[in-house]
Amino acid sequence: MTALIVTSDARDWPFDISGVDVVDAWTYLTSPEFGNARRTTRVFNLCRSYRYQSTGYYVSLLAEARGHKPLPGVTTLQDLKTRSMIRLVSDELDELIQKSLAPLQSSEFTLSVYFGRNLAQRYDRLSLHLFNQFPVPLLRAEFIKRDETWQIRRIKALSGADVPANHTEFVTEAAQRYFGGRSTSVKVRKRTRFDLAILHDPLEKDNAPSDEAALKKFLKAAEKAEINAELLTKDDFGRLLEFDALFIRETTAVNHHTYRFARRAASEGMIVIDDPVSILRCTNKVYLAELLTRHKIPIPRTVLLHRENADSIAAELGFPCVIKKPDSAFSQGVVKIKSEDELREQLPKFFDESELLVAQEFLPTDFDWRIGVLDNKPLFACRYFMARGHWQIIRQERAGAGRYGKTETVPVELAPRKAVDVAVKAANLIGNGLYGVDVKETANGFHVIEVNDNPNIDAGAEDALLKDELYSRIMDVFVRRIEAAKARNHD
């Protein structure tokens, strides 16, 4: 990926950054060299003004039209002009603002953010979060305290000419560090057509949807498909728009950075798996129960549980039964209830977190079928056996770690046809992304337990039969969708 800094005047950027070219805005806008530059060109717009229809505005606008990746993009430029958008910050950022600025005695504060960093190390986390929220290479944030609460008053994009002389050395170091951590043209070993961000969390350990070996296989498959793929973490939100597509390999949730990543990427026209709609639908078991029931997908006998009908569970489901929090994942927030006394003990804790719960009949089986579905078609089939001495496939033992039952992968064509068909039908109600559908096989037929938007793909497990082909199939879907999106944009 080529990195290009565009300024109003080449003299506005007196910093020498290896592997990064500098050009003035007019040359970028009018020279055929840049009009025909590779689509993987990353444009860092540091013009003096981003006023509507100014030269700086057109740098970002034409960069998008050329298939380049501008920072800031036109959407960000508009956000900076809209006071309501500036004040619309995430709870996480607002909490960090209050914590970082609490020691200050004054009621006003200005923070300079250079490539996500500040001269004072104590403001580095706040600077990074501001850069993630407002992806602008150089910015100045003005804060004001009202009623003992700090608020963002203004976010201003800066040009190189706006950098004070005593900040020059730091900006050079921050830029060198930023560009040194990116895949610029200096580092790319072979020509690639597209850029893919793979979001992961190294701290998820056993609960990560893909282990380290699988992530390496995804990177290898991407390279084979002429995709430049990079592993990102939640701290890289500000870099998201550098890419054509986002692949989430971290456990998703709605009130979580994974959803914010997906939402931002989708709003910018990027290809996203898991897309935000799938995250919303799959991570709420109340929604899934209602959806599957309405479309006559076989599921265990189910009651949408609330405080008014809790007394009916014994009659409707009997014991044991299973109570699920709507947003439970990895078998956490799912309990087996053996008696009315246990039900009365557990329900208050559950209702403290959600007004609605899911109660289902308990269907004991030795294993669940896990059917992987990609692009509306079956991808893999596995038997997930229950963890030893436990009624679920995962026995959680400590944060981020658990004991799993064994996995047996079988050819899709040899898995029970009814299990595969009902899994694909259930997944297609959600969307056309990548899903893992859990199906129980009982004497009364096959029952869908849930649809997961972020299914496990681990080396030696789900890929046991397809091997590298599994990863290639996923990358091929990204290639087809990126090509289709770019074709639509250039019609």
d(CA 436, CA 371): 6
CATH number of the domain at 194-282, please?
3.40.50.20
What is the full per-residue pLDDT of the chain (491 aa) written as tens digits? Answer: 578 999 999 888 888 888 889 999 999 999 888 877 666 788 999 999 988 889 999 999 998 888 888 999 888 888 787 776 666 677 788 899 999 999 999 999 999 999 999 999 999 999 999 998 889 999 999 999 998 999 999 999 999 889 999 999 999 999 988 887 654 433 444 667 899 999 999 999 888 999 999 999 999 999 999 999 999 999 899 889 889 999 999 999 988 899 999 998 998 889 999 999 999 999 899 899 999 999 999 999 999 999 999 889 989 999 999 999 888 765 567 888 999 999 999 999 889 988 889 999 999 998 999 999 999 999 999 999 987 655 566 655 555 456 677 899 999 999 999 999 999 999 999 999 999 999 999 999 999 999 999 999 999 999 999 999 999 999 999 999 999 998 886 65
CATH number of the domain at 79-164, please?
3.30.470
d(CA 234, CA 240): 10
Pick the CATH number of 3-76 from 3.40.250, 3.30.1460, 2.60.40, 3.30.43: 3.40.250
d(CA 353, CA 374): 33
Question: Where in the chain are the domains?
Answer: 3-76, 79-164, 194-282, 301-361
pLDDT at 80: 82
Query: Is 411:465 a contact under the CB 8 Å cutoff?
Result: yes
Quote the pTM value.
0.78
Pairing mode of beta strands 401-404, 271-273:
unpaired
CATH number of the domain at 301-361, please?
3.30.1490.20
Q: String of b and e for 117-156 (b: at least 16 CB within 10 Å)?
A: bbbeeebeebbbbbbbbbbbbbbbbebebeeeebbbbebe
Q: Please list the residues that pair with 446 across neighbouring strands.
A: 441
